[in-house]
A and B are shown apart, each in its own frame.
Chain A
């Protein structure tokens, strides 16, 4: 028979033995080194090595070229600001546009000064229309022209060829006068457009100036076209003038022949 104390001791020993066995198992199963974030773990060491390599790469492969790019950008910016687009030069150019506006206005006002000089009623009316610079007054030219230069002779006063010539000449003279009024009106519009574009230049940037430049170029083409149309009218006027001179020679030749025939008839009758 075992005493209760012996049994208690035996149980204690048994429990202690079980505990130690368990502890040995645990200790055996534990890794030889602690796994922590303090670089003691091989895994951490691997990570640290990797991250160090990444960091070195970021410094050499990323940061260095980025720094070089930043330097290039800085140089480009400085070059643009000081050499290509210096603000002072741009401001000066805009300032010149402001000054020019006054000159443009002055020129427009000079060309608006009256140049009418006729003293009699009919010429005054015709001249007023011719210098009106108003295309809507063109229809008035025919009647006012007639009151100064007369109309085509009646059939009783002149042969048909002469009447045709006179009508053609009147037509061209009137057309030239009408074209002159129209050209004046168009020129006024061109001057107005030029002043408007110049106002835009006063606030333009180098980039927007190119757009305005294209627009102005288009206006120049248009202006040249109108000038060309005025030139063609001038050519027509001179062509009709030349045709009239030739026609007068033809009439003279015809008259001479008629006179010769009539003279011969008279002389033959006298004999």
Chain B
């Protein structure tokens, strides 16, 4: 083997080695270029951090600050102006004081006995229709008859008169009985009003609307019973009007009968 041959053999084996070297140099160059790219992004990071800082400080921080102020104001508004505990307690005390001031006084006035009859039968009737006890309704008929007497028998009055008398009595007794029922209902309603007022003394602003609603329902009931009383009065007044009118009818008929009879008398001397 000559030197030239040996040299050419070496040169041939050197070619892949050189390629490997260039590749290594390329890779190293590439690796070294990356940091420079990173160095280029540093400004961006700083900008981003600045943006985040500004957002936290102005947008989020500002909004939270405002929210904080609003919440604080709302709490102050609720606790000092809308529902101040002192005024709530004062209102409760006022309810208790009003109840004790007026409750018994009004009760005394309401339940004063107004009975005024002096004779036995009227006393009995008055006692029955003023006691406000529905259990005594059955006694009204007898007590009423003791004072105003029973309707006349068929041989004492004409059927039309008996009907009218019976109807008058029925309407009068019906009204007296309705008044007894109304009195009893009034007592129940007054008890309910007392309960609502007493409970108001321990109520809270949140439970007061429920009590107020209950009072309105009771008011509706009162209106209904007031209507029933008005209906009773209407029946009574209508009966009174019908009675007067019936008398007029009977009077006209009687006059006509009298006229006929006189004519008969005059025509037969």
Contacts and interface: CB of A to CB of B under 8 A. Distances in A.
Interface of A: 1, 4, 7, 11, 18, 22, 26, 29-31, 35, 43, 46-47, 50-51, 53-54, 57-58, 61-62, 65-66, 68-69, 72-73, 75-76, 79-80, 83-86, 89-90, 92-94, 96-97, 99-100, 103-104, 106-107, 110-111, 113, 115-120, 122-124, 126-127, 130-131, 145, 147-153, 156-158, 162, 165-166, 169-170, 172-174, 176-177, 179-181, 183-184, 186-188, 190-191, 193-194, 197-198, 201, 204, 206, 209-210, 212-213, 216-217, 219-220, 223-224, 226-227, 230-231, 233-234, 237-238, 240-241, 244
A92 B202 contact: yes
B223 interface: yes
Contact of A213 (B173, B212, B225, B226): B212
Contacts of A83: 83, 85, 88, 204-205
Interface residues of B, number: 113
Contacts of A244: 241, 244-245
A120 B162 contact: yes
Interface stretch (B38-46, B99-107, B108-116, B118-126): B38-46
A85 B204 contact: yes
A1 B204 contact: no
A183 B134 contact: no
B210 A120 contact: no
Interface string B75-114: 1001100010100100000000000000000000000000
Contact of A187 (B68, B216, B227): B227
Nearest to A247: B248
A148 B72 contact: no
A23 B128 CA distance: 129
A152 B249 contact: yes
Contact of B53 (A4, A57, A149, A197): A57
Contacts of B228: 111, 183-184, 187
A130 B65 CA distance: 74
A220 B216 contact: yes
A2 to B, nearest CB: 8
Contacts of B151: 119-120
A190 B235 contact: no
Given A103-B188, A191-B224, A224-B223, A54 B56 contact: yes
B157 to A, nearest CB: 11
A157 B217 contact: no
A84 B207 CA distance: 8
B213 A204 contact: yes
Interface in B50-68: 50, 52-53, 56-57, 60-61, 64-65, 67-68
Interface of B: 3, 6-7, 10, 21, 24-25, 28-29, 32, 35, 38-39, 42, 45-46, 49-50, 52-53, 56-57, 60-61, 64-65, 67-68, 71-72, 74-75, 78-79, 83, 85, 88, 134, 137, 140-141, 144, 151, 160, 162-164, 166-167, 169-171, 173-174, 177-178, 181, 184-185, 188-189, 191-192, 195-196, 199, 202-214, 216-221, 223-228, 230-235, 237-246, 248-250, 252-253, 256
Given A46-B46, A115-B178, A234 B230 contact: yes
Contacts of B160: 150
- Determine chain A's interface SS by DSSP, over half rule: helix
B183 to A, nearest CB: 10
- Determine chain B's interface SS by DSSP, over half rule: helix
A153 B257 CA distance: 13
Contacts of B191: 103
Given A153-B252, A223-B224, A176 B209 contact: no
Given A65-B64, A100-B214, A177-B238, A117 B174 contact: yes
B231 A97 contact: no
16 contacts: A22-B24, A35-B38, A50-B49, A57-B56, A79-B83, A93-B203, A100-B217, A107-B189, A110-B185, A117-B177, A148-B242, A174-B242, A180-B238, A220-B219, A223-B224, A231-B230
A100 B193 CA distance: 10
A58 B173 CA distance: 86
B206 A89 contact: yes
A187 B224 contact: yes
Instruction: Across the A-B interface, give the 7 residue pairs with the lowest CB-CB distance, nearest first.
Output: A50-B49, A85-B206, A61-B61, A176-B238, A118-B170, A223-B223, A115-B177
Nearest to B220: A194
Contact of A93 (B177, B211, B237): B211
Contacts of A174: 238, 242
B3 to A, nearest CB: 7
Nearest to B141: A117
